[in-house]
Amino acid sequence: MTDGSDPDIAEWLRQRALDPTAADASVAGARIHARAVNERSRGLLQDPPVPAAERDIVLETAGGSVPVRVTEPATRFTDATIMFFHGGGWIAGDLDTHLQHMRRLAVETGSTVVGVDYRLAPEHPYPAAFDDCLAATLHVAGASAGRLAVAGDSAGGQLAASVALACRDQGIPLAAQLLVVPVTDVMGGYADSAVNARYPSRQERADGYGLTLAGMRWFADLYTAPGDAWQVSPLRAPDLAGVAPAAVHTAGFDPLRDEGNAYAAALRAAGVPVVHREWPTLNHGFFGLGGVSATAEEAARQAAADLRGLLTTGQDATAAANRDVIH
């Protein structure tokens, strides 16, 4: 008998827990572990997307210098640039841990991807990550003639959602936002029982599936962000109307499942076109586990396809959006 989670991912998590880098519970240890497991998972991809070019540059933005990695597709399907914000609980992750995430989006959407190497907590607490992501996005918006989108996973999904709100407020049009297993409500820092009760997945999936509820409390504590601010909790924004059309992907075995689902519902209630897909057997980290699980590969490809659909010239985004899909 199983609990319904993907068995290949369950075995991956068991092996991951045995990795020597898993033993160090410090911030430095979390960063080393993230690099190790992402490098290993990337090596398991049977047919990894191969971009035409990659280059690391520094954007001199109005908010200061922001390092980025520009990934170009061999075949272009859109005129768009996708700003990508990596996950890692605002304390870990970088452009190398999420190398394959950016390559997938570039190759499978046929768009330029700009990955933002934003500052990490606790050395640089809130609002450093948000400020860097927004500054880079505004800089590219002013320099690019094509359409612009934002994308991210986990904490990066939160940053993408919050940057999309900021762009709306500043009159910067975005063509789309892709939010994969996003953080959307940090009110209470994942330690407040009343807030947690709103999202049953926080208890149902609190431990055993990669990301833990205790881990989210640690991340939120280190980021030191005010949970009621939309810059860290987009679900707390007073008005979501007018933000970019969204593709929101959530996972059944993820403590963040219900807040991600709630954000998709809130966007739709505000009149925003939304494609929402929940993958019941997958876990929080599925976007980087295409080489581990066939279902995770399907989900990652679908996420890229949904973003491409919103970006493809001439496609009516509202015809493709406003639906929920449970796989």
Is 1 within the bounds of a domain?
Answer: no
Nearest C-alpha neighbor of 191 from the set 167, 158, 221, 161: 221
List the catalytic residue out of 6, 153, 254, 306: 254
Q: Is residue 39 part of a domain?
A: yes
Strand-by-strand arrangement of the 64-72 sheet: 53-61, 64-72, 112-116, 81-85, 148-153, 176-180, 246-253, 274-283, 323-326
Residue 2 lies inside a defined structural domain of this protein: no
In terms of Cα–Cα distance, which of 189, 176, 113, 179 is closest to 149? Answer: 176
Q: Per residue in 226-261, pLDDT tens?
A: 999 999 999 999 999 999 999 999 999 999 999 999
Segment 83-135, tens digit of pLDDT: 999 999 999 999 999 999 999 999 999 999 999 999 999 999 999 999 999 99
Q: Residue 218 falls within a domain, yes or no?
A: yes
Residue 212 neighbours by CB distance under 10 Å: 16
Dist. CA 327–CA 314, nearest whole Å: 28
Is the residue at 199 inside a domain? yes
Q: pLDDT, tens digit, for every residue of 165-215? A: 999 999 999 999 999 999 999 999 999 999 999 999 999 999 999 999 999
Number of separate domains in the chain: 1
Of 101, 139, 249, 284, which one is the catalytic site residue?
284
- The four Cα atoms 91, 94, 97, 99 give a dihedral, to 10 degrees, of 150
Q: Are 11 and 26 in contact (CB under 8 A)?
A: no
Whether residue 75 is contained in a domain is answered as: yes
Sort strands 148-153 and 176-180 into parallel, antiparallel or unpaired. parallel
Domain of 273, in residue numbers: 7-326
187, 191, 194, 200: CA torsion to nearest 10: 100
154 catalytic per annotation:
yes
Alpha carbon of residue 187 to chain centroid: 19
* Active-site position among 154, 162, 201, 293: 154
Supply the pTM of this predicted model.
Answer: 0.96
Give the phi and the psi of residue 132 in degrees, each rounded to 5: -65, -45
CATH number of residue 150's parent domain:
3.40.50.1820
pLDDT at residue 316, rounded to an integer: 44
Q: Give the per-residue pLDDT at 145.
A: 82
Average of pLDDT values for 59-79?
A: 97
Does any domain span residue 98?
Answer: yes
Residue 187 belongs to a domain: yes
Is the per-residue pLDDT at 60 higher than 80? yes
SS3 track for 224-280 = CCCCCCCCCCHHHCCCCCCCCCEEEEEEEECCCHHHHHHHHHHHHHCCCCEEEEEEE
162 is catalytic: no
